[in-house]
Structure 1
Amino acid sequence: MKKYSLIFLFLVGFIALFSACNDDDKYIPTPPVVSIESLSGVFAMPQEDSIILKAKVESPLETTLRWSVNGEETSTDSIYTFKMNDLGNYEVKLTATNADGEVSATTPVEVYGKYKYGTFILNEGASLRGDIASKLSFINPKGIFTDSVYQKENNGEMLKLLSQDLFISSNKMYFISQRNTLTVVNAETLKKEIIYEDEIKDLVAPTHLVVLDDNIYIRDNKGVYLFKLSDKSLTFIEGSNGARKNTMALVDGKVFVSKGKSVVVIEKGKEEISHTIDFEGNVSGIIKSADKNLWVSDASGKISKMNVKDYSISQTNELPTEAAKLLTASYAAAPSISAKGDTLYISALQSKIYRHIFSKNQTDFMVDAKEMVENVNIVYNTVSVNPINGDVILNSIKGYGENIAVNNISIFDFSGSEPTLKANYENYLRYPAGTFFTYNFE
């Protein structure tokens, strides 16, 4: 019996040992599962801003974290605030480590210039009774207003007097001054790159421009000229005589110019007008549409949609009398219309703002700015709508002379049942030449 008992105990011990070894074989290591989350939902930001990144970690074991940017360790917390002032693309890496292993996740983060996206208001200044310098103001997407941004970014240097228009192309911003100066800056930083003066000295009071690759089309008192950056040549575009002092449009690699009752077309590489499209009244506005065709308004009180490939008119809407009056070809240097999608806004040089929904042929009176903002006596140029968020901007002054210093940049929100004044920036204007949204140049 004692012999059998020993055998039994041996077998029980062997089975227990075998079971323990078998349990060890079944152990599955559990290294962490890790990913990176942006609390704002974006991984791109302007310089001097920040992005809050959060570590998302799944691990049953104690885990340590390590953040690095381009290989340099920056933090060991679960929340990391990414800040960089230098433009460029960065690799953010999050490494999670527990007793069972080490796992990493990476994400690219872009830092772009703080002026890449937003709204510019160009002030031409004046040369009457002493010069009032041109200046550029900026409203970022968060609604933060900064005055004289060109001056701030160029060590106090002022924009050339009577800067009338700007255009953004290939990450460069171009300013044209009636004093025969073409200034080129970096579109993200506003740092000056080059100024052309002698090369365009033969122009007479140039006011508007369009940039197509290295071809710059400049409108002056005679017509439209082609200034080629490659050889610095300046050539008059035949047939452009009498081009209206107003914004030109670039769509489908073609330049569209208003001239009397017509829109004329300049094709790249040509030194004469290629096509002429006639309208019932003097053309008061031409702007690129969201689907990359053309909106055209004319003094007969109509707005048309034009196909830029075959120049056909797909639809023409006639506005009611009061709104139609605002489509006259006035002395304003900006178009009579501004658009977000198929919704257009009209004010001409008045404080009353109308909205026209083109697809519904519906026109509504939105607001008289005088009822919501003080000192709106003279509307300077025309109303403009932000093509992204629908904000409508109206620039106004109390009057001329000393009263020019009393003015408003008024931003209206028409998304609700009643108009609201979203923001009003007082006393920054100095004869505003126009409002420019970076998104319209994309």
Structure 2
Amino acid sequence: MNTRSIWSLLLLAATLTTGSCSKENEEVPSLKFELSTGSDAGTESPVFVVPGKTVEMTYAAENATSISVEALSEGWSAEVREADSRIVLSATDDAATKATLTVTATGSGTQKISQDVELYCLNAFDDPNGTFVLNEGNMTTENGSLTWISPEGYVIDDAYKTVNGTELGNVAQDMAFCDGMIYVISQNGEGNAVGATFENDGMLVVMDAKTLKKTAAFTREELSELNWPSHVAVLDEQHIYIRDNAGVYRLDSTTGTLTFVEGSDGAPKSQFVTMNGKVYTYKSGLMSKILEISTESDAVNSISLPWSVTYDINEVLGIQKSDDGKIWIMTFGFGKPAIGKFDPTTKEIKQHLLGVKVSTGSSGVAFAARGNDIYYADNMTIYHLAFDDDKEDDTNEEGDPVSAEEWMVDVSALDKNAGLQYNGLGVHPVTGRVYINTLKSFANYGQNQIWGFDFSTSTEAPAVKYENYTNFPAGFFFPEKN
């Protein structure tokens, strides 16, 4: 080999060596990845998915060679669409309520970035630990809506619309549970009192209690005999009882016919009691009566309250079902408010004195009861009375009875924007949590609060507080225990 050849080989080797070192020192592009859920519920809330509907998340990635998702639990699916940087989620009716989505971006070399997203399937609104708030809506501008508070404390602002894509009737007033269904009655249906028309699902809406999917609806025209309906109770499909300004009607949903219940004229704007296969309302006055309605007749069975009572009854403020098959009845007579437990079979009543006379509001809810614990409010102040079936009220030195009620909390002292109570209290039958809705004012109803108190833990601060979700709330409702 000549000298020129040797030098050529050495030069080639040097060139190759230099090139190899240059590639080893070259920087690997840095991987960047950011996932956006598009949720306005806050970072602590999961991504909510309605069965049968898709939810899209977007992402931004730089220097990524691939985007992948880990397999989800049964009933869930996630599809990566790299062409437009999207991830499409869906869930089936029987999907697990909770799931975790793991998204991984892979870059050059060993670079990987993973991000977890909590998912929540809205397929189980019948959890007995949940809470509903029915909203009237502003009569002149809005339809009714149904707020759902999950057992975990997540709030779905309008769960009915989220599931169905349509809305409840104008001025939703009351709801009832029966045989796996929910019935919602609205005052105006598709048109309000001043003639404005609204696009919604009608005056009476029936939905599946688990999924909230609409199963039936009756328009204002179909229920044209009703004049401002306010409350509903259901025994079966042929015995749907609706109270309006005239009294109580029975709707047979299989035929669409309405029949007036004889003797129910003047039934108050107050929630029904449904128990033991019967529906109860009342007539208030010096001759106060409990009105019992059953499937046996389209006429009421009138049950007079006893003449001889501990505390006179000139007015009935409201009734609720007791856990032992009797009826709680809040009354007022000659300056003395009282709470009583009435047995419609024996017609016996046991009463205890209250310290305040409550106002019922447009929903007709005067008080809430769980076991023998009675909760009621004088505007913004919540009171509690532990009802004793065996004990009589104590008396003072003058021999006058003394109420055993307890002052619990003045909600207005906890928030300057809590200006007035709206439509009564609710007490959760499972957790015992006491709920109250407040507004800043009628004009500023958009500033509002849902309060939940665990009084066994604290009377000074709420256990939960949710702000600006309600629209003139009609009341609290709780899924039936299975």
TM-score, scaled to structure 1: 0.70
What's 2:118 paired with? none
Q: How does 1:340-355 map to 2 (within 5 A)?
A: 340-348=370-378, 350-355=379-384
What's 1:20 paired with? none
What's 2:310 paired with? none
What's 2:267 paired with? 243
Distance 1:190 1:389 in 2: 23
Paired residue secondary structure (1:381): strand
What's 2:295 paired with? 268
Per the TM alignment, residue 391 of structure 1 is displaced from its structure 2 partner at its CA by 0.8
Distance 1:399 1:69 in 2: 47
Distance 1:269 1:199 in 2: 25
Aligned pairs, number: 334
Contact in 2 for aligned 1:297/1:304 (Cα 8 Å) = yes
Contact in 2 for aligned 1:113/1:189 (Cα 8 Å) = yes
Distance 1:270 1:149 in 2: 37
Paired residue secondary structure (1:370): helix
2:220 is equivalent to residue 191 of structure 1 = no
What's 1:86 paired with? 93
Distance 1:368 1:291 in 2: 31
What's 2:331 paired with? 298
What's 1:127 paired with? 139
What's 1:317 paired with? 352
Q: What amino acid sits opposite 2:94 in the alignment? A: L
Per the TM alignment, residue 145 of structure 1 is displaced from its structure 2 partner at its CA by 1.5
Contact in 1 for aligned 2:233/2:240 (Cα 8 Å) = yes
Q: What amino acid sits opposite 2:382 in the alignment? A: I
Partner of residue 406 from structure 1, selected from 433, 447, 450:
447
Distance 2:464 2:305 in 1: 40
List gaps (5 residues or longer) in structure 2. 1-47, 52-72, 76-90, 97-120, 190-202, 307-312, 394-403
2:366 is equivalent to residue 366 of structure 1 = no
Evaluate the alpha carbon distance shift between residue 145 and residue 331 of structure 1 in structure 2; reply closer, same or farther with a 3 A threshold.
closer
Evaluate the alpha carbon distance shift between residue 192 and residue 199 of structure 1 in structure 2; reply closer, same or farther with a 3 A threshold.
same
Deviations, residues 314-351 of structure 1 (Å, cap 9, x unaligned):
411112x3x3x22x5x4431321101111010015x00
2:227 is equivalent to residue 204 of structure 1 = yes
Q: What amino acid sits opposite 1:275 in the alignment? A: S
Paired residue secondary structure (1:178): strand
Q: What amino acid sits opposite 2:407 in the alignment? A: F
Distance 2:124 2:445 in 1: 29
Partner of residue 125 from structure 2, selected from 115, 119, 137:
115
Paired residue secondary structure (1:150): helix
Contact in 2 for aligned 1:277/1:311 (Cα 8 Å) = no
Per the TM alignment, residue 288 of structure 1 is displaced from its structure 2 partner at its CA by 1.0
Contact in 2 for aligned 1:226/1:237 (Cα 8 Å) = yes
Distance 2:245 2:224 in 1: 13
Partner of residue 252 from structure 2, selected from 228, 232, 238:
228
Q: How does 1:140-219 map to 2 (within 5 A)?
A: 140-155=150-165, 157-180=166-189, 181-197=203-219, 198-214=221-237, 215-219=239-243
Distance 1:305 1:218 in 2: 25
Evaluate the alpha carbon distance shift between residue 294 and residue 88 of structure 1 in structure 2; reply closer, same or farther with a 3 A threshold.
farther
Evaluate the alpha carbon distance shift between residue 218 and residue 371 of structure 1 in structure 2; reply closer, same or farther with a 3 A threshold.
same
Paired residue secondary structure (2:445): helix
Deviations, residues 27-54 of structure 1 (Å, cap 9, x unaligned):
xxxxxxxxxxxxxxxxxxx9999xxxxx
Contact in 1 for aligned 2:272/2:280 (Cα 8 Å) = yes
Contact in 2 for aligned 1:119/1:139 (Cα 8 Å) = yes
Contact in 1 for aligned 2:425/2:475 (Cα 8 Å) = no
Contact in 2 for aligned 1:383/1:392 (Cα 8 Å) = yes
Contact in 2 for aligned 1:88/1:112 (Cα 8 Å) = no
Per the TM alignment, residue 190 of structure 1 is displaced from its structure 2 partner at its CA by 0.6
Distance 2:49 2:479 in 1: 17
Paired residue secondary structure (1:190): coil
What's 1:337 paired with? 367
Distance 2:282 2:421 in 1: 22
Larger helix fraction of residues: 1
What's 1:13 paired with? none
Q: What amino acid sits opposite 1:396 in the alignment? A: T
Contact in 2 for aligned 1:121/1:138 (Cα 8 Å) = yes
Evaluate the alpha carbon distance shift between residue 313 and residue 404 of structure 1 in structure 2; reply closer, same or farther with a 3 A threshold.
same
What's 2:11 paired with? none
Contact in 1 for aligned 2:329/2:341 (Cα 8 Å) = yes
Deviates more, 1:276-285 or 1:249-258: 276-285
Deviations, residues 410-435 of structure 1 (Å, cap 9, x unaligned):
11110136443111111111111111
Deviations, residues 352-396 of structure 1 (Å, cap 9, x unaligned):
000010026631010000122331111101111111111111101
Contact in 2 for aligned 1:372/1:421 (Cα 8 Å) = no
Distance 2:429 2:212 in 1: 22
Contact in 2 for aligned 1:345/1:354 (Cα 8 Å) = yes
Deviations, residues 187-208 of structure 1 (Å, cap 9, x unaligned):
1111111111243211101010
Paired residue secondary structure (2:452): strand
Distance 2:338 2:422 in 1: 23
Contact in 1 for aligned 2:453/2:459 (Cα 8 Å) = no
Q: What amino acid sits opposite 1:337 in the alignment? A: F
Q: What amino acid sits opposite 2:339 in the alignment? A: I
Distance 1:152 1:47 in 2: 10
The percent identity for this pair of structures is 32
Distance 1:199 1:418 in 2: 48
**CA RMSD, aligned part only?**
2.7
What's 1:387 paired with? 429
Deviates more, 1:217-226 or 1:293-302: 293-302
Distance 1:414 1:396 in 2: 18
Distance 2:353 2:441 in 1: 33
Distance 1:282 1:160 in 2: 32
Distance 2:185 2:276 in 1: 23
Q: How does 1:277-292 map to 2 (within 5 A)?
A: 277-278=304-305, 280-292=313-325
Evaluate the alpha carbon distance shift between residue 194 and residue 427 of structure 1 in structure 2; reply closer, same or farther with a 3 A threshold.
same
